[in-house]
Amino acid sequence: MRHIRLIHKLRTLLALLVFAALLAAGGGLWWANRTGLPESWRGEIEKALAAQGLHADIGQLRYWPLQGIEADEVKVYSDATHSRVIARASEVIVDVDRTKLARGKVRVERLDLKGGSLTLPVDPDDPDSKMLEVKNAAGRVLMPGGRRLEILGARGEVSGIRLEFEALLLGYRQRLSDKPEDKDAELQRRRLLSRVIGLLEPWRFEEGKPPLIRMRVEGDLDDPKSVRADVFLKSGALERGGIRISRVEARGEVRGRLLVLDSLDLDDDGGSLKGRMEYDLSSRSGRFEMHSNLDLPPILREFDAGGLLSEVGFQSRPELTARGKLEWPEDKPPSFHIMGHLAANNVNFAKHTAARLESDVSFDGKNLFLDNLVATRPDGQVKARVLVKDDEVRYSASTNLRATVWRDFFDKVPLGKVLHDFSETDGTTVDGSVEGRASRSDPHDWDCGGTVTATHMAYKGTPFNRAQVTMKLDHEFLDFTDGTVEFDYSGYAMRKAHGGPQTGKAKVARVRYNRAPSTLTLEGIEGSFWPAPVLRMFLPEVADHLEQYGFHNTPALRGSGTIGLQQAPEKTDFKIHGTTPGKVSYHFAGTDLLLAGLETDVRVKPGRTEVRDLSFDLFDGPVRSNIDVVTSGVRKVTGEIDWTRLSLGELSTACGFEKQAKGFVTGRMDFVHHGGGETAGLNGEGHIALEEGELFSVPIFGPLSPLLSAVVDRKAGFQQATAAFCTFKVVEGVLRTRDFYTDTSSLVFTGDGSADLNRKWLDMTIRMNARGLLGIITLPLKPVVDGLFQFRGTGPLKEPKWDNVMFTSPPEEEIKRLTAPPKATRTGPANRR
């Protein structure tokens, strides 16, 4: 019984001792973790880590029975000098070899990091270096002994980007070579990782699918060239600005200083990019090749290159096959030099669409060069080379596209206005070759030059079959030289009315438009063409005047000078010399006149046109004239005209008189004409003479012959006057004379009256004095004065009615001539002028 009780008491005592021991151990552990394990422990563990090749400082140690030793505030250095910090960790679990610990030796076999944070400087030697803050860091480092170091399941997050890392290294105790190139390679690998993370940071990630960067490193650190790192990058949808990437995946490896991406795949919900790349970590440059049909404009804008193609739109995805170089300077975004081929369908530029665009492309991230560019439309194509460098665009191009396509490109400069004045037909063709440059920021800073040939077009309503010109253009001037043009007269009213050639040809040495002052200079114009359609392109008022002259054939013209446009009309001074071998119709006083052999000099000045040395044949006689036409304000024509020995018969025919007359008419006139009518507004004065004719066969005086026969005798009535003369004045289309004179061997005629050219009406008084034998015969008929008779004619010019009326006192101008005795012989009235 006592024996049983003793055993029971011993058991109770043992339990109390164990409990007390546990309390003491727990209290000691709590106290140790509260104050930290002894410095000797920390020092031993730091030595043990150094023996394994990891040089570290530990801030504090704690022991957890089920986990091991926890080290707080751990700094890891690159070497035993502790001069470069390569990592910081807040909490690390250290597992030591317990068998050796029992013998008093500390050997670290494993390090665990779970749910802590890790700070890695990109450049340990630079105190201002960027730090990679790894959150939710976890992983295990195994140090089984020998030369082996293994990292398993290392992971964490940097700026929302997941990192996964594994490593199997040999010779880690010896560390990497101290050669500068090897240290630089290690530094560049860290910087590359930092830059990749930096590129991904601005992107918005798909929720639940952040980018993943996975690396696995293997190699012998005694031979840095054998170190190999496999790299894998994967991400779900990414968005930045206008770019949306639905998937990213890349695989590659790092060998020494060389990064090789064997595959790079990007998708953007409609297109993809596939490529590969080699990148030298030390030189920070590399090469790549790719094939892409990604949405190109947002990518260009993201790389700050959108301005190069700001007006380009792709209705379908462009295909780009390219190779190139990559440079990633320190502290700068990467730049690319791309060389390849771009092809796209349905490309918009400005207000136009190309059905197909193809070009060789070279782009260095700043400057763009397009070579062998071909843009195809249903109505033609453009072949070009384009260089976009800084703010300047240089180009050379050939095209068969029409003017309507190009006018929108130049709508802000004078060339656009010129192109808008062209109109096209179904048969229009264009063949142009130009070179030029333009500023992207200043629409006024541009110039270009080349040659253009066009067919079946019209400029300001003037059609032409073919035109060719060499040009040099900029914002200040448009200079066209060595121009040739073949005008199309198939629809020209003048040709239809009078016949003539279907075409007319002209050469122009130069046509130059100057913006300031606003002038158009034409030099060396020559050819055979109708003048009005040509001048209508530049001087519509002058063209309207020339349309009054109906050229039956194309006259030969040459000219040069300056035309002042709307802003500078006072600069106009343009000279033309023209001759025509054919007929020219001119409508005057209701009569179509037919001119022949016309030749003249015309000078166009501000608001007026001067016609000098105008000469032509009319009614088988020469006519000469000088004319000034005021075209500004109220139209006014002033001038002088003289004619010599015009056929009176031809004149009668032209005026529509049934009775033909004989003789010739000579005279001159100074005139002023204003207003729009043919004869209304005509004023002037002059003289006219009849020679070698039969006055009373003239239709106007013809009805007077029977009356004269009745008054005197039949023979006397038909006694012909072969010459006549008078001076006249014209006021508002009404011609008046007070000194009409003619005679025969027995008769003297004087007269005064008017001919209304507007109404075609005659009102005239003729007084006759009979002398000699005829005077004796008429004695019984003398009413007042010996031998004096008076006749009055009124009515239409073609057939006036003449009556014998009571004699009235004549004007003083007529008395002397009327009473003077007729001479037996005389050379004509012109001798008594």
What pLDDT shows up at residue 680? Answer: 80
Which two three-digit tokens encode residue 325?
A: 């170089």
Average pLDDT over residues 57-86: 71
Judged on CB neighbours under 10 Å (0-12, 13-18, 19+), 480 is buried
Residues above pLDDT 90, as percent of the chain: 23
Residue 280: C-alpha distances to residues 130, 229, 328, 781, 782 (Å): 21, 14, 10, 136, 135
DSSP 177: -
Answer for the pair 123, 191: CB distance below 8 angstroms, yes or no: yes
Phi-psi region of 522 (alpha: psi -120 to 50; beta: other; left: phi over 0): beta
What pLDDT shows up at residue 710? Answer: 61
What pLDDT shows up at residue 55? Answer: 77
Rounded distance between C-alpha atoms, residue 533 and residue 527, angstroms: 14
- Kindly report the number of other CB atoms within 10 A of residue 761's CB atom: 15
Interval 692-743: pLDDT, tens: 877 776 666 766 766 666 655 544 444 567 888 999 999 998 999 998 888 8
Average pLDDT over residues 85-108: 66
CA angle 79-80-85, nearest 5°? Answer: 50
Cα torsion for 523, 524, 529, 533, to the nearest 10°? 0
240 pLDDT higher than 90: no
- Kindly report the number of other CB atoms within 10 A of residue 780's CB atom: 5
- Give the DSSP per-residue string, 199-246: HHTTSEEBTTB--EEEEEEEEETTSGGG-EEEEEEEES-EEETTEEES
Bond preceding residue 121 cis, omega within 30 of 0? no
What pLDDT shows up at residue 468? Answer: 95
Residue 409 half-sphere exposure, CB side, CA atoms within 13 Å?
A: 14
- Supply the mean pLDDT for the chain: 78
Which two three-digit tokens encode residue 37?
A: 């394990």
827 pLDDT higher than 50: no
1 pLDDT higher than 90: no
What pLDDT shows up at residue 717? Answer: 43
415 pLDDT higher than 90: no
Interval 183-230: pLDDT, tens: 555 555 566 666 666 666 666 777 777 888 898 888 776 676 777 888
Q: What is the enclosing helix (H) or strand (E) of 15?
A: helix 2-35
pLDDT range class, residue 287, cuts 50, 70, 90: very high
Q: What is the enclosing helix (H) or strand (E) of 506?
A: strand 503-514
* More confident call, 204 vs 28: 204
CA angle 114-120-124, nearest 5°? Answer: 150
- Give the DSSP per-residue string, 670-732: EEEEESSSSSTTEEEEEEEEEESS-GGGSTTTTTHHHHHHHHS-HHHHTPPP--EEEEEEEET
What pTM value is reported for the model?
0.68
Interval 345-393: pLDDT, tens: 988 876 778 899 999 999 887 788 999 999 999 889 999 999 988 888 8
Rounded distance between C-alpha atoms, residue 36 and residue 76, angstroms: 20
* More confident call, 712 vs 61: 61
Considering only 159-163, 289-293, 341-345, which range has the smallest mean pLDDT?
159-163
775 pLDDT higher than 70: no
91 pLDDT higher than 90: no
* More confident call, 189 vs 565: 565
777 pLDDT higher than 50: no
825 pLDDT higher than 50: no
* More confident call, 549 vs 355: 355
Interval 731-749: pLDDT, tens: 998 999 998 888 877 778 8
HEC per residue, 291-355: EECCCHHHHHHHCCCHHHHCCEEECCCCEEEEEEEEECCCCCCCEEEEEEEEEEEEEEECCEEEE
Rounded distance between C-alpha atoms, residue 23 and residue 29, angstroms: 10
| Residues listed for the chain | 833
Interval 640-681: pLDDT, tens: 999 999 988 888 777 766 667 788 999 999 999 887 666 788
